[in-house]
Amino acid sequence: MIKIIDLKKRFNTRRVLNGLNLEIEQGKITVIIGRSGEGKSVLIKHIIGLLRPDSGQIFLDDMEITSMKEKDFNEVRKRFGMLFQGGALFDSMTVAGNVGFPLKEHTDLSDDDILKIVTEKLRRVGLVNVEEMMPADLSGGMRKRVGLARAIVMDPEIVLFDEPTTGLDPIMSDSVADLVLDTQRVLKTTYILITHDIPFTYKIADKIAMLHEGRIIEQGTVEEMKANQNPIVRQFLEGRAEGPIKVY
């Protein structure tokens, strides 16, 4: 379980996280929603140690990770996988090189064994015979799938997703949702996603948390959030320009 307590982060004069509290259950899909620029990416960057908070704590099981030294944090990071918004695939490597990269860096497996695992993971995300392709030759949807294959190649306990459906058409978004559900149900991995794609969220979430002005203002299951009467939540879920959230 991940427990985030009173997390605060400021960039220059702009306060992005303002005392954020959240509990993420093990083996569940937690989706964090909120407007663009509200600090969703900043939050998951704190969870994986790309950013350190100004104050507050993040517990992974019983370990407090925000104050860890970089070397110790690297051991913690091996328990994570992350899918970036644009895939963040290495341009200079083939698909197989990308997916197999963590195995090559952190295990003593032979190239043949790595390739077998890579092929299996690619098949799991619905891709076959793409091992020798370069990232530049892949479509947006394929890049996300390859990114997901790389994120799960080490069988991590926790996978973070940064806007997994941004830039995809609705059909491809739905197929990514199926992919998220398929891969999560098999291994019962903890998935943490940030998105503002509401249909996608309703389809996959075990728990939804809404981030607004640097805090989690409401959280609950899909049904609970659909029934939530907080005007900020209602405006966001219904996608209305009029309401307490000002468009600027």
Partner 1 sequence: MIGMFKGYLEKLGESAGKFVTSTGLMATMLAQAAVYAFTPPVKLRNIFKQMEFVGVQSLFVVVLTGTFTGMVMALQSFNALKRFGAESLVGPTVALSMARELGPVLTGLMVTGRAGSAMATELGTMRVTEQIDALFTMAVNPVKYLVVPRIIAGVLMFPLLTVITDFVGVVGGYMVGVRLLGINPGVYIGRTIDFVQVSDIFIGLEKSIVFGLIMSLVACFNGFYTTGGAEGVGRSATSSVVMGSVLILVSDYLLSSFLS
**CB-nearer residue toward partner 1: 106 or 116:** 106
Choice between 88 and 134, CB closer to partner 1: 88
Least Å distance between CB 91 and partner 1?
7
Of 46-54, 61-69, 168-176, 185-193, the window that binds partner 1 (rule: CB under 8 A) is 46-54
Identify the residue among 1, 50, 63, 186 touching partner 1 (CB under 8 A).
50
Q: What are the strands, taking DSSP E only, across 127-205?
A: 158-162, 190-195
In the list 48, 130, 232, 237, the residue contacting partner 1 (rule: CB under 8 A) is 48
CB of 84 to partner 1, least distance (A): 5
Q: How far is CA 184 from CA 10, 27, 58, in A?
A: 33, 8, 23
Distances 189 to 26, 81, 180, 241 between C-alpha atoms, Å? 7, 10, 10, 36
Is residue 78 within the footprint of partner 1 (CB under 8 A)? Answer: yes
Going across the sheet that includes 190-195, the strands are 80-83, 158-162, 190-195, 29-33, 207-212, 215-220
**Does residue 214 belong to the site contacting partner 1 (CB under 8 A)?**
no
Pairwise CA distance, residues 42 & 58, whole Å: 14
Q: Minimal distance in Å, beta carbon 106 to partner 1?
A: 7
Interacting residue with partner 1 among 22, 24, 33, 82 (CB under 8 A): 82
Between the two ends of the chain, the Cα-to-Cα distance in Å is 36
> Which member of 18, 21, 57, 85 binds partner 1 (CB under 8 A)?
85
The neighbour count for residue 143, using CB atoms within 10 Å, is 20
Question: What would the 3-class secondary structure string for 81-120 be?
Answer: EEECCCCCCCCCCCHHHHHHHHHHHHCCCCHHHHHHHHHH
Our finding on whether 106 is near partner 1 (CB under 8 A) is yes
Site residues, partner 1 (CB under 8 A): 45, 48-50, 74-75, 77-78, 80-82, 84-86, 88-91, 101-102, 105-106, 160
